[in-house]
Amino acid sequence: MSLATYKSQCIEKYKLANPDKDIPKNMGSKWTEIEESELLANIQKQLDIEEVAKRHSRTRGAITARLEVIAMRMYEENRYDTEHIEEATRMNERSIRDAIDKRDKYKSKCETKYPHTDNTDIANLKKEIIELKAIIKDLKRDDIDDLKKQIQKYRGWGC
């Protein structure tokens, strides 16, 4: 699903659930590293989630979900212990554990669905796609060159 499709689906769901509220400007938009840093800074300032959502032009749910993503990333990269993650995100240990469990279940589901796929397979597929794109590009050039030659040949006939 493209980002534009995802964004429009988010907006439609929000409109249905909140007909009297304005749509946040950044709803469904990709988070940047700068925005994530600002989010953590706002959380450190002990701002209310509603205020943080307004500052980021996002929904409360988007703020909570992004904090979960940040917490999981911190945990998975083994950069911080749970106590530090709690302090940085203002999430309690239970919420952090629930987010990690949810992520693990998702990963497990994907591994069950695609059991023989690993990072090497994915890397090889990406490499093949890049090579195929180059071949297609060359084919298009060859076709264009052939068409040019044919046009020049017909011009030579005096048409």
pLDDT at 53: 95
Closest CA to 114 of 126, 102, 106, 123: 106
Please report, for residues 100, 148, 158, the alpha-carbon distance to residue 85 in angstroms, rounded to integers and kept in the order given: 12, 63, 78
pLDDT tens by residue, the chain, 159 residues: 677 788 888 888 888 888 888 889 998 889 999 999 999 999 999 999 999 999 999 999 999 999 999 998 998 887 778 888 999 999 999 999 898 888 888 777 766 666 666 677 778 888 888 888 888 877 777 778 888 888 887 777 655
The residues spanned by each domain of the chain are: 31-115, 118-159
Q: Is the dihedral of CA 106, 107, 112, 116 positive or negative?
A: positive
Structure tokens given for 40: 């953590």
Task: Please give the Cα distance from 36 to 30 (Å, whole number).
Answer: 11
pLDDT at 116: 64
Classify each residue of 68-77 as buried b or exposed e, where b means 16 or more C-beta atoms within 10 Å of its C-beta. Answer: bebbbebbee
